[in-house]
Structure 1
Amino acid sequence: MRSILLLPVFLLCVAGCATGGMHPGWTGEGAEPFDGARDACRAQADAVTAASEREKAFEACMEARGWRRLGQ
């Protein structure tokens, strides 16, 4: 009986390990490491002079590195 009660806890722990590399709001299977891609894309987007275009430049850069925002 005790093992039946512990099974959901175990499954949640395993699922947490499997998704530990997830980044809220982004998905990217087989993509470059997220932190490096994000930092490089921020630097690239900061070079865009038009503030209204920076977010587009950032997202295009992230997509080129294998990441895309969820819900897009």
Structure 2
Amino acid sequence: MQPLTAKELEYIVDSMSNEDLLIKQCTAAAASVQNPQLARIALEMAGRHQTHYNYLLNTLQQHQQLAPTQPM
């Protein structure tokens, strides 16, 4: 595996921000709806977005292992 480019890293960070926002929105929706089925669906969606977020985080952590260290 090759190190990620700066543009790829920016895309991943932006995607993580988007996933975090979606997690919060789905969680808030689940808490505010009266219908238990809709609440369950919203929580499932929040879980999917959490999975996506974790995958992106894992990708960044793998990149840290591959990235060359910068001299100070």
What TM-score do the two structures reach when normalised by structure 2?
Answer: 0.34
* Structure with more of its chain in helix, by fraction: 2
* Structure with more of its chain in strand, by fraction: 1
What TM-score do the two structures reach when normalised by structure 1?
Answer: 0.34
Bigger Rg, structure 1 or 2:
1
